[in-house]
Amino acid sequence: MRFYQIFLQILGKSEFNKYLVSGTFAFLADYSVLLIATELLGIHYLVSAVFGYAIGLLVSYMLNIRWVFRYRKYAHTSKKEFLIFVVIVIVGLVITEAVIFLLVEQVAVSYQYAKIVSVGVIFVFNFIAKKHFLFTRNETH
């Protein structure tokens, strides 16, 4: 059996497990942009964090609607779905930026470490908010 077949068996059909994997890919995209923009392009770390977060948003959205969640509440109106997704992510971005800023400016840790801590803070919020507002059936129907 190939590695990816074993991996998919272990992963199973759990939305949370799939979200964890998709979140890892989104984080890798986000963190890569943060490092490249800050270290190679000389952009301020908080601005770079926004660019990285935007790329992570796109990766996350595509994986969430195509693979992670079994049900899409707004599949028939993808513009509305994407708008709600973006609002959730923007709330997450505000929290992320606050965590990074506080850790860098007040606690004097590196922006790289602060970013990693912020991911831990925001992961559960994003899963619960997306699941509740976008990927759960309406109980009234």
Please give the average pLDDT of every successive group of 10 residues along the chain, which has 141 residues: 62 82 94 96 94 94 92 91 94 92 96 92 90 82 46
**Does residue 102 lie in a domain region?**
yes
| Alpha-carbon gap, residue 25 to 20, rounded angstroms | 9
Predicted TM-score (pTM) of this structure: 0.79
CB burial of residue 92 (10 Å; 0-12, 13-18, 19+): buried
**Does residue 9 lie in a domain region?**
no
**Does residue 8 lie in a domain region?**
no
**Does residue 54 lie in a domain region?**
yes
**Does residue 45 lie in a domain region?**
yes
CB 2 within 8 A of CB 48: no
| Model pLDDT, residue 75 | 87
Count of structural domains within the chain: 1
